[in-house]
Amino acid sequence: MTSSPAKNGPHIPSPTSTGQQLSSPRSTRTLRKLQSAHQLSSNYNALNTPSLISQQRQQQQRYPSSSHNIALPPVPSIPANHSPQKPAHHRTRSNSDAVMPSDHIPALVTRRAAPLKRQGLGSSKDELRALISRGPRGDVDSSLQRLRSLIIEDGIETDNDGMSQLRIYVWLILLNAPTLSTDTYLSLIHRGPSPAYAKIRNDTFRTLATDPLFKRRVSEASLIRLLNAIAWKLHDAKSASLLSNSQPLTNSANEFGSPELQHASPAIKHAHNASTTTNTEGSEAGGSSPGIYVQGMNVLCAPFLYAARSEAEAFVAFHRFITRECPGYVRGAMDGVHNGLKLVDKCLAILDPKLSAHLVSKGMKAEVYAFASVLTMCACTPPLPEVLQLWDFLFAYGPHLNVLCICVQLLMMKERLLGSPSPGNMLRNFPHLKAKDIITGTVNCVRKIPNDLYEELVHHME
């Protein structure tokens, strides 16, 4: 019988110990670099520029009185006995890539264009392939908007297993992820077990355990390496932040005031105090301090590993996603996830009051049945190819829309839920995802959400 890791000390699988081998730093063959994935975002500072959704938030804070509304054109409704369609609300797009005048912001959803034959391209699939490989021809902002339109019109071309050579590069562009040296990723692996290693090992073997596609392509060793590298990366960032906050005061100042006083906020002090609650496994016991690993991150990173062509690509995309798009989901207290659960209840009460009242009368609030779906962006619900297609939409228009995606899944189950005396039994496992129907229903539901509630959706992951 083999000894447990706790007795003999933790062990990180080496890059050459599995079927999915990683090249060593000295090898002449290195993992594919990510430069071709960033031709669309070449005008941005990759390391410091906020992601697409973050830039829109900054714009709203800078110009609170300006109007950046988007008129949504009609889209087909899903067959879910919805109430008659109301006049469309004007909606601020949350995932804008640049600051633009309101009259130049394109629509969130565009009508299907006629077959594309311009510039020698035979179809939208060919256009997407050329856009990724050659980069934008002209304006970057309009090219990014065209990329979003192509995703929602025809989607990304895949094989029967949901695999696509383009998908990971589309995700990296939409996340505005920086380029990464392969040696940087390998150096994190070679540091050995992180403080969160024991907790990671306790979760990885259960990751999408019943999905044969995932198990065939992604090994547990690959999951362990990536999550352990992420834990080290977050650990270093947390240590650097605490160190910078403990520096002695100086007389230096700039146009924004003293750098020390800029960081002397109650939030920073609270984060410093909460850091003392870190347990031996590296996951936060509570508070608002950022953790280095929380349960559920294993499922959240699984689609990145499945879609990527290398661990280094999956690493940079996943790190960018959890640190820029949903940092509230990976804090020790998971306050972003709990905010999302409350929003599921609020949105469902507006979208379908009858269904909402029925679930509440049975004691079925979202915190009972939707925790995993909120935390993992629906990655916990099979099949995996449908998850990837849904994520294409979420990365294009904002991962906050996952809350509405969950509501749409409930609306698609409406008749069965209303007819069941125990809807909780049905909600233990959601029906298999149907990405196209969910995306169509989500866009349809956006119009019905009041502006103030939609604003909560946009910011609940911060």
CATH number of the CATH domain containing 455: 1.10.472.80
Determine the angle formed by the axes of helices 297-307 and 220-245, rounding to 10 degrees.
120
Is residue 227 included in any domain, yes or no?
Answer: no
For tokens 């977050």, name the residue: 234
Is residue 190 included in any domain, yes or no?
Answer: no
Q: Check if the beta carbon of residue 157 is closer than 8 Å to that of residue 166.
A: yes
Q: Residue 2 and residue 415: Cα distance in Å, rounded? A: 52
Is residue 447 included in any domain, yes or no?
Answer: yes
* 69-71 and 90-92 beta bridge pairing: antiparallel
* Helices of type H across 22-102: 52-62
Q: Residue 198 and residue 9: Cα distance in Å, rounded? A: 10
Q: Which of 394, 349, 352 is nearest to 373 (CA)?
A: 394
Is residue 356 included in any domain, yes or no?
Answer: yes
Is residue 226 included in any domain, yes or no?
Answer: no
Residue numbers of the domain that contains 376: 334-462
- In a structure prediction context, what are the per-residue pLDDT tens digits for the chain, which is 462 residues long? 444 444 444 455 444 444 444 444 434 333 333 333 333 333 333 334 455 455 555 555 554 433 333 334 343 344 444 444 444 444 443 333 333 333 332 333 333 333 333 344 457 788 888 888 888 888 888 899 999 999 998 899 998 888 999 999 999 999 999 988 899 999 999 999 999 999 999 999 999 999 999 999 999 999 999 999 999 999 999 888 777 776 554 444 444 443 433 443 333 333 334 333 333 333 443 444 557 899 899 999 999 999 999 999 999 999 999 999 999 999 888 999 999 999 999 999 999 999 999 999 999 999 999 999 999 999 999 999 999 999 999 999 999 999 999 999 999 999 999 998 889 899 999 999 999 999 999 999 999 999 999 999 999 999
DSSP reduced 3-state for 41: coil
DSSP reduced 3-state for 299: helix
Q: Check if the beta carbon of residue 402 is closer than 8 Å to that of residue 374.
A: yes
- Where residue 271 falls (left for φ over 0; alpha for ψ -120 to 50; beta otherwise) is alpha
Here the tokens at position 108 are: 């969130």
Straight-line distance from the first to the last Cα atom of the chain, in angstroms, rounded to the nearest whole number: 46
Which residues have a Cβ under 8 Å from the Cβ of 365 and sit 6 or more positions away? 341, 345, 359
Our CA dihedral for 101, 106, 108, 113, rounded to 10 degrees, sits at 180
Question: Residue 60: is it exposed, middle or buried by C-beta count within 10 angstroms (0-12/13-18/19+)?
Answer: middle
Whether the predicted model's global pTM rises above the 0.75 cut:
no
DSSP reduced 3-state for 270: helix
Is residue 319 included in any domain, yes or no?
Answer: no
Bridge partners of 38, per DSSP, are none
DSSP reduced 3-state for 223: helix
Write the secondary structure of 4-40 as one string of H (helix), E (strand) and C (coil). CHHHHCCCCCCCCCCCCCCCCCCCCCCCCCCHHHHCC
Q: Residue 458 and residue 462: Cα distance in Å, rounded? A: 9
Is residue 49 included in any domain, yes or no?
Answer: no
Q: Quote the number of domains for the chain.
A: 1
Is residue 143 included in any domain, yes or no?
Answer: no
Q: Cβ atoms within 10 A of the Cβ of 266, count?
A: 7
